[in-house]
Amino acid sequence: MTNGALKVGDSVVVSLDYVLILDDDREIDRSDKNEPMEYLHGFNNIIPGLEEELNGMTVGDEKEVVVQPELGYGERDPDGMTEFPRDTFPGSLNLEVGEPVMMRDKDGGESLQAYVSELRTDTVLLDFNHPLAGETLHFHIRIAGLREPTSEELAHGHVHHPDHKH
């Protein structure tokens, strides 16, 4: 199958140019001008609401896609806010509102990403919701390229970049 005959579908590597805007017209992300985002389609590597809308597109196709929170980063969970004593964090860690912090669950196993919501006198309020939870996402997308995955990419379920070490 030649590159020109490929369409976006399961097990195809997609190179995607995109701009992401929120309801308030604030642009919050975009692909680099000469470096589209690459992902392996059908392996939950991007949010489901966007992945679903790309099916069947070919190189050069452009589209506006609106993704509701339930198919994006989910709704905000009010129970996602947790307060921790300041001494939970090493003194060398520079805590700033809005910055991500990696935490381990209470069993010490799974790593969880949280965001500093508020710095209080003796405590830190962390938000375990994704920063885009509850947001409707407006994408302008263009298919920049399509290719077959390598057998290693297919086995691992994601794209491998030359500088990626496994």
- CA distances for 100 relative to 61, 72, 87, angstroms: 35, 19, 17
Instruction: Report the CATH fold assignment for 3-73+133-150.
Output: Chitinase A; domain 3 (3.10.50)
Specify the residue for token string 């196993």: 109
Span 64-112, pLDDT tens digits: 999 999 999 999 998 999 999 998 888 788 899 999 998 887 776 788 8
Span 102-160, pLDDT tens digits: 888 777 678 889 999 999 999 999 999 999 999 999 999 999 999 999 999 999 999 98
The Cα–Cα gap between 149 and 11 comes to 7
Whether the CB-CB separation of 39 and 157 falls below 8 Å is answered with: no
Which residues, including other chains, have CB under 8 Å from residue 162's CB and lie 6 or more apart? none
**Per-chain mean pLDDT for the chain:** 91
pTM higher than 0.75, yes or no? yes
Span 12-40, pLDDT tens digits: 999 999 999 999 999 999 999 889 999 99
pLDDT score of 166 = 46
- Domain residue ranges of the chain, discontinuous segments joined by +: 3-73+133-150, 78-127
CATH 2.40.10.330 is the classification of domain 78-127 = yes
Structure tokens at 24: 């308030």
pLDDT score of 30 = 96
The radius of gyration of the chain's CA atoms, rounded to the nearest angstrom, is: 19
**What percent of the chain shows pLDDT beyond 90?**
79
Report residue 111: phi and psi, to 5°: -85, 135
